[in-house]
Every structure is written in structure tokens, then in C-alpha cells.
A and B are shown apart, each in its own frame.
Chain A
Amino acid sequence: MSDDKFDVIVVGAGLAGCTAAYVLAREGLEVVVIERGNGAGSKNMTGGRLYAHTLERILPGFAEEAPIERRVTREKISFLSDRDAVTMDYQAGDYQAGDYQAGGQAAGRRPATAESYTVLRARFDPWLMGKAEEKGASLIDGIRVSELLTRDGRVVGVKAGDDELEADCVILADGVNSLLGESLGFVKKVTPHHCAVGAKELIELTPQQMRDRFGCEGRDGLAWLFAGMPSDGLMGGGFLYTNETSVSLGVVFGLHNIEAAGKSVPQMLEDFKAHPAVRPLIEGGQLIEYSAHVVPEGGLAMVPKIVGDGVLLTGDAAGFCLNVGYTVRGMDLAIASGEAAAKAVIAAKARGDFSAAGLNQYQTLLNDSVVMKDLTLYRKLPGFLDNPRMFGAYPDMAAGVMADLFTVDGPSKPLLKKAGGHLRKVGLLNLVKDGLKGVTSL
């Protein structure tokens, strides 16, 4: 054994990797994070909304100091047909005592664990890595791990070109395209059926425009999801998140439908931007970045083997991501799984056993955490959502009903007759069936 052997090597300085490093270093383990990009987060993008609960439990009050963009206090959901939009708008009012079970917080604010924030990863991830470094973790960036180092079938370190680095245990936090997880034969289900592609523009606006167009006051902001035309009527959707002085505007599209799509993914984003409900929101804004990434959205069905001798898989690499309707949740799960992996390694070190059996507490910790609980709860959702009516006929129906409801041009028809035509287009039986299935998948 070489002298420069570490306790743990973490591959990937995303949220899963940085969290694992923080928890390990806090307990005094010698941990090094290897990241292929220049600095943590420089290869990472997301839609934009971090549900705070999991990080709040690790770093209480983190939002006071972390580079978050805005606290989400307003939610909108729009159903878009080609030209029309039907929008629901929810504004969270002041917190009343008794609203939440978790007590103890001042009236007027939600408990910190119930908050969510918009974030930009190239700002946020370096901050989290910095917290890990404060506790003693080190970062080697600009280095791509090319292979895992194995001996007698167990992972004992990593290779980067000709360089080798050894550790008792390797945590793979290398994201959805986990080439290393595949090289072990663990990751097998990163297929078009289980993945979507997301493309996003970051559009800069003035503080005045942020306030006028989105009602952004102080540090508060909004999350806005769009169903229907953004993903060409197929599985996917559009999103808009308000940052401090910019908006993250993008589309997500399920890859298994690519042959059915009538246009390219970049064209979907372009047409979404040109929709009458969206265009005025970004008018005069300046594009400051264009980014894209794959979303693992197969849920429980795509989770691979996550524990081996000397190795653990976390975050997107382990498929820990949820598509809950028209939105994606992966960041909070990446954080929770990074924490669970770190705790399992700490326990394994105490016993001096880094075999798969010695690390298996990871699975138990995950089962008891939000990760497996929510993946299990929503296990039927991907199948339910993979129904073109959700993204085509229903948004069109909503727009059609509204158009009739609010249009007066001569004597009116009875309401039921008006709505009836739109319902028949979808098929009443379909409506009932989808409604029932929806209730049981949620």
C-alpha cells in the first residue's frame, strides 16, 4: 500500500459528490474529489429549483450564506396549445402557526426545510465544494478519471491517464452519463426509454424587468412550468425559473419519442420562446448562456446496482432523479444520496470492512430516506406520464374550454354543450381512465 492512499476518492464535484465529501471530511476522513471540469460545477446545469430539505438538514441555514438566486414563493403552471395558454397561479401567503408539523419557526416564514430556491450550478456547486474544503476535503479539478483501478474484483482506486490514485473506497458521483458505473457493469438502463434531454437558455433581464414581469420582490421569485406545445405535445415540458437578474428558460423532451417529434429539440425551445404567452416575458433580454444535459427520469425502474466491493454509486449516476409531472427533482436526491453514501463509508471505516457487505448500510440508509421513499411512491408515474394525451390533447382541451367560456359573440350556448365538444375530442373514457390512473400513481 502506498503512503498517499486516501480513505475515499469521490469522482465528480456535482451536488452528490460535494455533499459526500463534506460529510466525510466533517468526520475527519481523508477525502479527495476528482472533477474533470475546471472547478466544481463547471460542467453542470439544471432546470433551476433546489428543494432545500435535504441540504438544510446537513447544513442548517445554508441559504443565508450560499449563492442561491431566489426563494420560490410563487408557482405557475400553464397549459399551452399552439397559440393559447391556460395558467394557474399560486402565491404562498404568510406562514400561520400550525401550518406545518415542524414547529418552532417565526410566523411569516415557512420552515427552512420547506423552502425551495432557484440556483445556478456553476455558482452553487463551488460554494458547496468550498464547505467540504473547509472541513479538510481536497479537490483535484481539470482531471478526468479514465478508469477505475480494480484488484481481485474490488475497486481500489482510480486512473487518470497514466496516474493512479488509491483509496479504501470510491464514491461514483459522476452523473447520468456514468461511464465508470457502466465499466463496472452496474449501470445498464440509461436508455432512451428512461431519459430525457433538457436544453436551457439563461436570459439576462434588468431588476426592473424582473419585478414588472414576474413580481419578484426582494429575494423572492417564481417557478413556472409549462405543459403542451413546448415539448411538441409529447412527454416533456417547458420551465421558467427566476434568478436574481435572469431567467432560466428551457424545455425537456423524452428521448424515446424522438422519432415522433415534428421538430428538433433546439427548435422546440425556439418555438416555446416565441409563444405569445412567453415572448413578452423575455423581450429585450440578452442570452448569456446556452446549456443542455440529459435527465434520468425513469425513476425506480432505472436504479442500477449501487453497492460493490469498494464502490458506491450516488446521485444521477444511480438514477436518483424523479420526473414528478411537469417538473424534475434530482438535486435534493443527489444531496441525500451523497450524505447516505458518506455515512455508510464512515461506518465501514469503523469496522475496517469496505467490501460490498461492509458498505451495505448505504442501501438501508437510502431505504429509510426520502430517496427510496419517493422513488417508490412515484414508481408508477413515468408510465402514467408516458401518454401523449397528457401533453397534447389535455392542454388543447383546457385552452379550448377557456376560449369558449370567455368568448361572447351573439347568443351563448349552454356551458355543458360548450365543454362537451372538447371533452369528446379527448374521449370521455380516456379522461376517466387517465384520471383514475393519475390518482393511483401519485
Chain B
Amino acid sequence: MTRVNVDAKLVVDKFFVDEGNPHIVLKKSPDPREFAKLEKACPAGLYKRDANGAMHFDSAGCLECGTCRILCGHTILEKWDYPTGSMGVMYRYG
């Protein structure tokens, strides 16, 4: 089975990135078990581990679905808000 490349899908989408003003913020040292849920569930694949197992998150590319908020809003997320008006993903088809 081919391993999914989500980044290659996200480049097709239209985004207005609010540089320096992330709408979702991950806590400093997140509980790895909670993080593992988001690694699997985030449809944009934005919760990633590098080769050393360190945990990373970048809110650019977020589809604003709310999955991470519902799974981990009270555990490992410091903040979950919508992007400021007019910023973020803009669907051309939906």
C-alpha cells in the first residue's frame, strides 16, 4: 500500500496563512499518548514526529475541521480558535 502524502494534497488547496498568529497552539511537552491520537486523526497530517521521535505541529495547512479540538482540546492543546476573519483555508468547491 502506498504511504499517503498529505502535503501533496494540501498544496492544491487555497490558504491565507496568518503568519506569526497561529490559531492552534500545542502545549510545551505534550502527553505522547494524546499526541498519538492526533497523529492518526488530523486529516491534514499536521501532528508529526521526526526521526528522533520529537513531536511537532504547525497550524499552516489546517483545514479547521475541529478534530484535534474535540479529541485533545482539554489535554494537550493550549489554544484552539478559528483563524482571524478571512484567514485560513478557503474552499473553492467545498
Q: Is A191 a contact of B70 with CB atoms below 8 Å?
A: yes
A176-B66, A179-B81, A292-B63 known; A266-B6 Cβ under 8 A: yes
SS of B interface (majority)? loop
Q: Is A179 a contact of B45 with CB atoms below 8 Å?
A: no
A144-B84, A177-B69 known; A42-B90 Cβ under 8 A: yes
A122-B92, A123-B94, A192-B71 known; A271-B13 Cβ under 8 A: no
A196's nearest neighbour on chain B, judged by CB, is: B67
Q: Is A36 a contact of B86 with CB atoms below 8 Å?
A: yes
Stretch at the interface among A56-64, A254-262, A339-347: A254-262
SS of A interface (majority)? mixed
Whole-angstrom distance from the CB of B30 to the nearest CB of chain A? 16
B38's nearest neighbour on chain A, judged by CB, is: A258
Is there a chain A Cβ closer than 8 Å to B4's Cβ? yes
How many pairs of A and B residues are in contact by the CB < 8 Å rule?
142
Q: Is B70 a contact of A264 with CB atoms below 8 Å?
A: no
Whole-angstrom distance from the CB of B47 to the nearest CB of chain A? 10
Within the complex, which residue of A38, A288, A292 is in contact with B86, where a contact is CB–CB below 8 Å? A38
Measured as residues with beta carbon below 8 angstroms from the partner, the interface class of chain B is 35 or more
Stretch at the interface among A43-51, A220-228, A408-416: A43-51
Within the complex, which residue of B4, B12, B13, B85 is in contact with A36, where a contact is CB–CB below 8 Å? B85
Q: Is A41 a contact of B91 with CB atoms below 8 Å?
A: yes
Q: Which one of B10, B36, B86 has the greatest number of beta carbons of chain A within 10 Å?
A: B86
- Residues of A174-197 at the interface with B, using a CB-CB cut-off of 8 Å, are 176-177, 179, 190-192, 195, 197
Q: Is A266 a contact of B86 with CB atoms below 8 Å?
A: no
- Residues of A42-90 at the interface with B, using a CB-CB cut-off of 8 Å, are 42-46
A190's nearest neighbour on chain B, judged by CB, is: B70
Q: Is B71 a contact of A255 with CB atoms below 8 Å?
A: yes
Whole-angstrom distance from the CB of A251 to the nearest CB of chain B? 9
Contact with A along B24-54 (1 / 0, CB 8 A): 0000000000001101111111000000000
Complex alpha-carbon distance, A142 and B91, angstroms: 14
Is there a chain B Cβ closer than 8 Å to A270's Cβ? yes
Q: Is A120 a contact of B2 with CB atoms below 8 Å?
A: no
A121-B94, A125-B94, A267-B3 known; A261-B40 Cβ under 8 A: yes
Is there a chain B Cβ closer than 8 Å to A403's Cβ? no
A-B contacts besides A261-B40, A264-B41, A266-B44, 17 pairs, CB < 8 Å? A36-B86, A43-B88, A122-B91, A123-B94, A144-B83, A176-B66, A197-B67, A201-B9, A258-B37, A258-B41, A264-B4, A264-B39, A265-B40, A266-B4, A266-B6, A291-B91, A292-B65
Binding site for B on A (CB under 8 A): 36-38, 41-46, 120-125, 141-144, 160, 176-177, 179, 190-192, 195, 197, 199, 201-202, 246, 253, 255, 258-259, 261, 263-267, 269-271, 274, 287-294
